[in-house]
Structure 1
Amino acid sequence: MALLWSKISGLLPINEAQFPLEFGDKVESSVLDLLKRSRQQLYSETASAYCMLNAQIILDISWEKLNKGTWRHVEKEWRRVYSYGCLFKVLALCHEDPSPEVIQQAIRTCDMGLLMGAAIMDNILQALVQILHCEVRKATREEDQTVHIYTKKMKIECPPAPLIKPTMAVPRIHCPSLESFKTNYLLPLEPVILEGIIDHWPALSNHPWSIEYLRSVAGCRTVPVEVGSRYTDEEWSQTLITVNEFIDRYILSKDEVKALGYLAQHQLFDQIPELKEDICIPDYCCLGEGDDDNITINAWFGPGGTVSPLHQDPQQNFLAQVVGRKYIRLYSPEHTEKLYPHPTQLLHNTSQVEVESPDEELFPEFVKAPYLECVLQPGDVLFIPVLHWHYVRSLQLSFSVSFWWS
């Protein structure tokens, strides 16, 4: 473990004077004093227990700030304070011959900083978690092989796909030119399935995404998960668990538990660069107004039966199917009144109707709204035009990646 600390300490500035702690007046002087004390302890012979105590105080104070009011009103300075608290805690945990359990705790602390904090010191928490994750993967190589053998034998149910009438099917086109896509689909805002445009992704070719692969590159990482079959259900909730726990509890479990694992925005790919390297932003996104930094990448991973209720999004969307199949239904925004959006501001972009079993007495106009539908297969990319209503149901274990762009 001395080698582990050597790798970790190699990420730090060589002395206290070069360790940056610059904050504006939003952060109280008492908190800044705590941060400076932690920095001083780091470069002295202070016992880890005292370093841990000080780090936890910083985390407790900043956590209270992060959870006061709505997230968009949280000062970035306090998110940076939280990240520093996570950094000091990880360093205290790893300084004195950490056990495998303590290393797992350190990884979770890094992930919390990456999820809730803001980047500090050239994103040092990301560099730290990569070192710690490599240590875990070395220590559990035999266990991973056992899991690989077990999951290889898992039979994932493959129910028959819904019958799609040709007159209602989303059209398919193979590798259109940029100009053809722009003229025929982007400008008129027409849905289309693009075939052959992601066949080169490592996620589909070099090392196809599977339960075994996800365990190996992300199993011990803590991620945000939405629990419940759909976000409009009363029992729907959010939690933070490891990818391994999610797989064991909701993917491989034989219980009749259904959960939607939605790793919001691009957090999964920011946390786990190995997965981000397995995908590429579709070339067609260059037809938008912004650059790659303005494209939001979302990960969708969950068992069969999970549902995204009929809803609309304020941006263009490429939905790329990597694993499994999904049934999708699309409605043009011109038929919004027939789709009965929720009256509340929070869910105004979501329909009240159960798409595949509508209550015709409550929502009589819904059955009159025309729609297109499809079954998205691995390698397919569905273009969902801005504000087009879409309903999604996973037919089996599924992993999709969506790209939101303007």
Structure 2
Amino acid sequence: MSSGLEPPLWVAARALLPGPEAELALPLDGAVEEWVPPLLRRCRALLEGAGRPGGARALRRAGAVLRDGAWERLHAAPWREVGEGWRRAFAYGCLFSALGELAAGRPAAPALRLCDLGLLLGRDVLGGALRRLAGLLRHRHRPRRPPQKVHRDLAPVPVVPPEDEVPHLHCPSLEHFRDNYLIPQRPVVLEGIMDHWPCTKKWSVDYICEVAGCRTVPVELGSQYTDEDWSQQLMTVGDFIDRYIVGENGVGYLAQHQLFDQIPELKEDINIPDYCCLGEEDEDNITINAWFGPEGTISPLHQDPQQNFLAQVFGRKYIRLCSPQDSENVYPHESQMLHNTSQVDVEDPDLVKFPNFTKAAFQSCVLMPGQVLFIPVKYWHYVRSLDTSFSVSFWWS
């Protein structure tokens, strides 16, 4: 290949992959249709000539055929039934398509979006190639203009009667937390345990826009997922901030567990709470979720299948909790899809339709920046953002 004729970004991108064609193994680790392996080998062969005239176009086309074919299989069955092979095939298609874009000298943004799609819907292949390429493109992509700061009056804080307030505890020992809260399954607000996390000093709307503004993520549209008009849409973090944080165009919520895998710079700013070591699994099996949205975003009363540490980075959240022993009194939906979600509007309950809701015993708190709420497994919890808010949750067993 003649590096003098190749776009510099393409040279840097190609250097992220193994050199000779013989070293570029493309395992699928799962069943796919017979047309996929030959197409994968064709993409690999085209990669070597992508920097020459006509090579980039051929690589883009082959990658697009692979990506589009795998996309159809990803959406032909329930997500849990999609085979590993098809997810990897989709990731390879996104990777080769992105490399074809760069070899053609096109801007970084379309290639970066392809990397994010591969990370979101596929698997990171070739030892983290998609993640490495996305990191390269983010640094080469023209930085977004930080969002204009909007000053809003703080929302009134709901009154929490002292007898209903979740207890607060400062940096308890592992033994004290285990014996008094984990084993008896009692909620508690932990203070001081995230004071050393870099995110507490670094993160803001502007910082999130700077670090992740050009990255494509799924955004939930609607104030809560039980609304009839609730939907999901792929957009960049910057567009999400412009529309729903700064622009106040309705309510959108960035709620996903892959954000920290997509953007390692953010993951480096958080720590898994030490108390998770009391669980049965290692750190690799702890699910870390990001929750970023404007004032007024609501998670209706629901329960999760694992223990949860909810860490508040910035903004405030009003939270109400109820023991699983009161499950009958909170009227879960009968459908399998929403069986873990209550039908009752916690802050404005219809007591004619749901009379036993008055029998449910609740605890409440306003979770402030720097505080971590322990939510025991299957504990019902309702969450409303009082401000623009960023939280991180850790699900563990």
Query: TM-score when scaled to structure 2?
Result: 0.95
1:38 CA displacement: 1.3
Please say if residues 260 and 306 of structure 1, whose CA atoms lie closer than 8 Å, have aligned partners that are also in contact. Answer: yes
Return the offset for 1:24.
5.9
Matched, 1:262 2:267: no
Q: CA deviation at 1:25?
A: 7.2
Do residues 26 (structure 1) and 26 (structure 2) align? no
1:7-406 equivalences under 5 Å are: 7-23=12-28, 26-44=31-49, 45=52, 46-98=54-106, 102-136=107-141, 139-140=142-143, 144=145, 147=146, 150-151=148-149, 154-205=150-201, 207=202, 209-255=203-249, 257-263=250-256, 265=257, 267-406=258-397
Partner of 2:301: helix, strand, or coil? strand
Q: Write the distance in 1 (CA, Å) between the matches of 2:217 and 2:74.
A: 18
Mapped partners of 1:346, 1:378: distance in 2? 32
The 2-side partners of 1:320 and 1:25 are apart by 37
Query: Partner amino acid for 1:325?
Result: R
User: What amino acid does structure 2 have at the position aligned with 1:260?
Assistant: Y
Preserved contact between residue 112 and residue 215 of structure 2 (Cα < 8 Å): yes
Separation of aligned partners in 2, 1:167 and 1:399: 28
Q: Quick one: which amino acid aligns to residue 287 of structure 1?
A: L
169 and 23 in structure 1: CA distance in 2 versus 1, 3 angstrom threshold: closer
Does the Cα contact within 8 Å between 1:156 and 1:397 map onto a contact in 2?
no
The Cα of 1:376 is off from its aligned counterpart by: 0.3
The separation in 2 between residues aligned to 1:156 and 1:262, in whole angstroms, is: 23
Q: What one-letter code is carried by the residue in structure 1 that aligns with 2:79? A: W
**Conserved? CA contact 2:7–2:102, under 8 Å:** no
Residues 320 and 363 in structure 2, CA contact (< 8 A), matched pair in contact too: yes
Question: Partners in 2 of 1:370 and 1:347 — Cα distance?
Answer: 22
Q: Distance in 2 between matches of 1:188 and 1:250?
A: 40
Aligned length: 389
Distance 1:34 1:224 in 2: 29
Maintained 8 Å contact 2:101/2:111: yes
How much has 1:262 moved relative to structure 2?
1.2
Counterpart contact for 2:30–2:84, Cα < 8 Å: no
> What letter corresponds to residue 272 of structure 2 in structure 1?
I
Does the CA-based 8 Å contact 1:110-1:125 persist in structure 2?
yes
Report percent identity of matched pairs.
53
Per-residue CA deviation, residues 219-267 of structure 1 (Å, 9 max, x unaligned), is 0000011111000000000111100010011111144x1222212x2x0
> Mind listing any 5+ residue stretches in structure 2 that lack a counterpart?
1-5
* Residues 226, 6 of structure 1: alpha-carbon distance in 2 compared, 3 angstrom cutoff: same
Distance, in Å, in 1 between the alignment partners of 2:384 and 2:99 is 44
Deviations 1:19-72 (A, max 9, x none): 112346722332211111111111124532222111111111110111111111
Cα distance, 1:8 vs structure 2: 1.0
- CA distance in 2 between counterparts of 1:2 and 1:107 reads 16
Amino acid at match of 1:197: I
After superposition, the Cα gap between the structure-2 partners of 1:30 and 1:221, relative to the gap in structure 1 and judged at 3 Å, is: same
User: Given residue 59 of structure 1, which amino acid in structure 2 is its aligned partner?
Assistant: R
* Contact 2:10–2:103 (8 Å) recurs in 1: yes
Residue 71 of structure 1 aligns with an amino acid whose one-letter code is: W
Whether the 8 Å contact between 1:260 and 1:307 is mirrored in structure 2 is no
Measured against aligned partners, the alpha-carbon deviations of 1:186-245 in whole angstroms (never above 9, x if no partner) come to 11101100000001110002x2x1111011110000001111100000000011110001
Contact (CA 8 Å) 1:157, 1:396: kept in 2 or not? no
Distance 1:124 1:260 in 2: 29
The Cα offsets for residues 287-327 of structure 1, whole Å up to 9 and x where unpaired, read as 00111011111110000101000011111110001110000
Q: Secondary structure at the match of 2:355?
A: coil
Q: 1:24 to 1:170 in 2, by over 3 A?
A: closer
The range that moved more, 362-371 or 169-178, is: 362-371
Question: Separation in 2 of the partners of 1:290 and 1:23?
Answer: 27
Q: Given that residues 102 and 111 in structure 2 are in contact (C-alpha distance below 8 angstroms), is that contact kept between their aligned partners in structure 1?
A: yes
Contact 2:301 2:383 in 1 (8 A): yes
SS in 1 for 2:335: coil
Q: Quick one: distance in 1 between partners of 2:275 and 2:188?
A: 13
Give the partner amino acid of 2:164. Answer: M
